Amino acid sequence: MGMTNILISGASVAGPALAWWLRRYGFRPTVVERAPALRAGGYKVDIRGAALDVVDRMGLLEQVRRHDTGMRLARFVDAEGAQLATMDAQLFGGREGDDAEIMRGDLARILAAATDDVEYVFGDSIAAMTPIAEGVEVAFERGSRRTFDLVIGADGLHSNVRRLAFGPESSHLRHLGHHIAIFTVPAEFGVPRTELMHPAPGRTVGVYRTAGAQDAKTLFLFPSPQGGPDHRDVAGQKALLAEAFAGVGWQVPRLLDAMWDAPDFYLDSMSQVRMDRWSAGRIGLVGDAAYGASPASGQGTSLSLVGAYVLATSLATAGGDPAAGFADYERRMRPFVEANQQLAERNLKGMVLRSAAQIRFQVLMLRLMPHLPGRERMIRRVTEPIRKAATAITLPDAAAIAS
Ligand SMILES: Cc1cc2nc3c(=O)[nH]c(=O)nc-3n(C[C@H](O)[C@H](O)[C@H](O)COP(=O)(O)OP(=O)(O)OC[C@H]3O[C@@H](n4cnc5c(N)ncnc54)[C@H](O)[C@@H]3O)c2cc1C
């Protein structure tokens, strides 16, 4: 059985990282991306634990460090903009030690540049897949047809490959009860290297500006029933956000005004992907498409990077047998995925506080923290579960595999 030619759907984090490792092991990957060019936009993402190790093994760690967001401070403000409390940005993001924070767009650019010898097809998408004797026949939306040995979906939370091969997304998405919105706003809304956060009962809004950025990003979190507008209905999403934050103080009315002109408005449910299997025959999934952990976990990017490495390594050691490769990938990744998905619900409780009393308590704790005798223990209570989950995998050894 051969499996040299591998089609990957999606060119964000998981797709290019998988392509990098497949090339390294002697496979011939092709990446198809629906967007007309590499999507540069995005928010900041954390890379920690085993994922740092993977990036290091790719020789890209120094580049990632050069693009660190350089955030310094989180500052909590009230409805009038007055400071309530401050906190170190590393601790606010649940980072410690060598953990990195980078804009998703910068990471995507680094990964794409590192795979410039891989065939990328932009502005196209898989329309249909038909399993054939020793491969998959793929029909593309723009009309071409090609045959591949394997197809891997790295196309995110609303994965096209998952829908085509495993059925409707409603059977795989688990809504965590909140929506998230994020978009770019003019720089004057933010303070350099600072996260401004305004907690209102049941709703949280923040603005951050990274080191050297020409603009700022704003982020909204709010509770929501299952469903909500379709993830492609931008007008409906904007109306939902405006309604959810009506009456909230601080700079929220001006941020909502800026929303109508935002070049990159994003709104989606905070959802996780839960699946019994990440492969069916010669079709597999990686990254958010397989085991999206939601932005609340802070671990989606790390899961994608580790998953790409483990999948490529499992396929490379499977002796040409895709079923054996996919089985090895699942066995190694499942406990790691479960540990990281578990972080999300706990984190969400701290990100959106339900009542004014809870907000007052959190502010009081933040103000007292520098003076409390148990400070180190309290900090460990925040960082320890994240560190444990982020390192809950033993990476297979790539060095043993001939390229
Ligand atoms: C607001 C927000 C904040 C986040 N914050 C963090 C954080 O702090 N830390 C963290 O670790 N993670 C965070 N994440 C999650 C992180 O960005 C993702 O987990 C990670 O990017 C997953 O990468 P991926 O490559 O699997 O999927 P995605 O980044 O979703 O990429 C999927 C790619 O597939 C493409 N695509 C979609 N459909 C098709 C199709 N039909 N055909 C071809 N291509 C297609 C898309 O255009 C996209 O390029 C956040 C996510 C969001 C939305």
CA 287 / ligand 1 centre spacing (Å): 8
**pLDDT tens column, 7-31:** 999 999 999 999 999 999 999 999 9
Cβ–Cβ < 8 Å for 315, 22 = yes
The per-residue pLDDT for 185 is 96
Crossing angle (nearest 10°) for helices 14-24 and 300-316: 30
Mean pLDDT of 248-276: 95
8, 9, 12, best to mutate for ligand 1 pocket (most atoms within 8 Å of CB): 12
Other beta carbons less than 10 A from residue 215's beta carbon: 14
* Confidence bin at 157 (pLDDT 50/70/90): very high
Cβ–Cβ < 8 Å for 124, 7 = no
Mean pLDDT of 312-326: 96
CA 31 / ligand 1 centre spacing (Å): 15
The response to whether residue 322 sits with its C-beta less than 6 Å from ligand 1 reads no
* CA separation for the pair 393, 311 (Å, rounded): 13
The response to whether residue 106 sits with its C-beta less than 6 Å from ligand 1 reads no
CA 61 centroid distance within chain: 18
The response to whether residue 13 sits with its C-beta less than 6 Å from ligand 1 reads yes
Alpha helix (H) residue ranges in 9-58: 14-24, 50-57
The per-residue pLDDT for 355 is 94
- DSSP SS3 for 101: strand
225 pLDDT more than 60: yes
Nearest to 24 by CA among 308, 357, 334: 308
Nearest to 122 by CA among 44, 184, 182, 40: 40
* Confidence bin at 373 (pLDDT 50/70/90): confident
**Structure tokens given for 330:** 């699942």
- Average pLDDT in the chain: 94
Query: What domains, with CATH codes, occur in the chain?
Result: 5-74+103-172+272-346 (3.50.50.60)
Cβ–Cβ < 8 Å for 19, 31 = yes
Mean pLDDT of 167-177: 95
Other beta carbons less than 10 A from residue 195's beta carbon: 25
The response to whether residue 12 sits with its C-beta less than 6 Å from ligand 1 reads yes
DSSP state for residue 232 in the 8-state scheme: T
* CA separation for the pair 206, 295 (Å, rounded): 15
* Confidence bin at 227 (pLDDT 50/70/90): low
Cβ–Cβ < 8 Å for 76, 199 = yes
Ligand 1 atom closest to Cα of 294? 15
The response to whether residue 34 sits with its C-beta less than 6 Å from ligand 1 reads yes
DSSP state for residue 82 in the 8-state scheme: -
Sorted by sequence, the CB contacts under 8 Å of residue 219 that are 6+ apart come out as: 43, 180, 181, 182, 205, 206, 207, 208
